[in-house]
Structure 1
Amino acid sequence: MSNSTKNLSDLSVAIKDWGRALGFNDVGITDTNLRTAESQHQAWIEKGFHGDMDYMAKHGVKRTRPDELVPNTQRIISVRLDYLPPQAENSDKILQDSSKAFISRYALGRDYHKVMRNKLQKLCEKIQSELQYYQTPAFEYRVFTDSAPVLEVALAEKAGLGWRGKHTLLINKNKGSWFFLGEIYTNLPLPIDEPASNHCGSCSKCIEVCPTQAITAPYEVDARKCISYLTIELKTSIPLEYRPLIGNRVYGCDDCQLYCPWNKFAEVTKETDFAVKHGLDDIRLIDCFQWSEDDFKTRMAGSAIYRIGYLQWLRNIAVGLGNAETTPEVIQALQRHVHHENAMVQEHVRWALIRHNRA
């Protein structure tokens, strides 16, 4: 074995150690070959399943060819970071209480984009500072965390971090699926890890429990039906047929993960930035609906929820209130916004009132 190969192998081990020291729960390395994923992704786009997410299509093959997105890329360092917050209120309890606002568990704390990017950058800086001890080319890199045309699940699967579940999220055999993914594209020709094997078997629980039947086939999601898409990505009116099915899910949906058997192995995060903020794990719809725009910006500063903006937040809460139990308090809350200056908000409020026979 040459010194160069030995050093690259040692560097690979060191990178994984440095990553875990920074708080990542797992680190894997893979190459840039995504030919199988490319054909699957293109077929998904051709079906129109990406909805209004134009960014999923506009970059062409750069999403599936890392070396075209970032020239000279030879390897992808893939990482995962647990996000399930400690001491969060039980999800089932919130989902079964129509007066409460259910917020996807990943959004209860600080915006993951900032946390992941900071850790990835620190890992790159560590690699840079240690590279003098290894026989390698000059270090070139670029970090990503759900922020560019990257097929992060396909890359993580190839890097051995888990397998793509039937709900299309990554599942780790020992840790479930409550984690974020991030990537470092680099020119370093590091040894690659073995891909993970699939362990979904005959289980179809995620398909069965999806409130809107958005998982149209194993390993395929029609985003246009997905509650996460409808409450986060969709910037216009939510289609009428999906509003009753959304229930009290006002930001995202976790049902496919909540019922996945592999998540019995999931662990709460040790990352303090993902701790619940502002009581978002157990908050009333009415209270959320009473926030002014300044209240929303203040409370959601540093949160992933901030990205959808105040008007979309009101739209989502209006749907939740439309699905809530009819009470004088709910009716009064809706009536306060019935003449809202924004047409989209007003439309959803009027729909909610019709649901309560208060048109």
Structure 2
Amino acid sequence: MDPLFDPADFRIPAGVTHVCAAGETAALRVHDQALLQYLVDKSLGMSGRAAQEAQVEAARAGVARLWGVTAGDIGFVANVAEGVSIVAGSLDWRDGDAIAIDAEEYPSVVGPIALRRNPAIRLLQARGGEPDRLARIADGRTRIIAASSVSYLTGERIDLHALRAIADRVGALLLVDFTQASGYLPIEASLADFAFSACYKWMLGITGVAVAYWNRARQPDWSPASAGWHSFAPGGRGYDPPPALRPDAMRFTRGNPAHGPVYVLNGALSYLARHDRLDVQRHVQTLTTALLDGLRPRRLPITTPYDPARHGASVCFTAPDAASVVAALHQKGVYAWNGHGRVRISFHGYNGMADVDRILEAL
């Protein structure tokens, strides 16, 4: 099976198998022009600012198409942790309130809530690999169920429909991080009350901007507890009374969004739009399944579920010397990722079956 994307469109060094999309994807070559255009527009005064704002609106529309929502539901933050912090700060927490998470959830999803004081928030932590593990821990004082749609640690894909049902049963918000899914999996953002995603992995962007989604149908009265100039509706002056917030998800965006990364994101979204999302999903999961099949005889401690319905685009196995393994693979021209005691191999559209063969040989 050949690559779905043309590898020549990316800055992949010659002779390299690039399989670390869950950490950083290879950059598109068109990003050079996008960043240059940003610098040109930045230098044009007010007309340049209008051009920058047009890029922001185009990016919102592009993400909305990717996630199956409206552009008004999409805003931008600097990173996922910032977005989660804004949601956490908007709630009237009471003693005994809790959030329900997987014990190995990504820190950006948990940290902004776990470190809150006055009151401290209980952490209900699900352990193990059973698909229904979060259902067993959520209680009537659970204010948020927070989850990554695909685990950064194991590559496990979570059943968001089941989480929505749990959240509705206990009266909690469902907060989802789509970072490890957006760009190759179809995204059903409307299941969440709030959702976020970094843009520098499968979405093919760069760091500096992240997607923030506000489900205005489910949470029409939501308002952040803090704001910046960009969060307010344009045109107001003075603070008596305080100015109105923007009516859409751009109230997440306290100051200027990172315009340079937004220009890059627009180019990335245009590139992804050339391909049907189901084709991208089918492509990467064919590769992950082939790698899992190839690894089975080696009896490695694989933590990724074998069933494609339960995994994303990554294959992970535990290794106490993961850093050494990844360094050795790098020397053989295979760019993988390590951390947290595991090796992670992640595919995107620029990979093909020859990469699977090369990985197995290098291992």
**Higher helix share goes to which structure?**
1
What's the TM-score, normalizing by structure 1? 0.27
Give the structure-2-normalised TM-score.
0.27
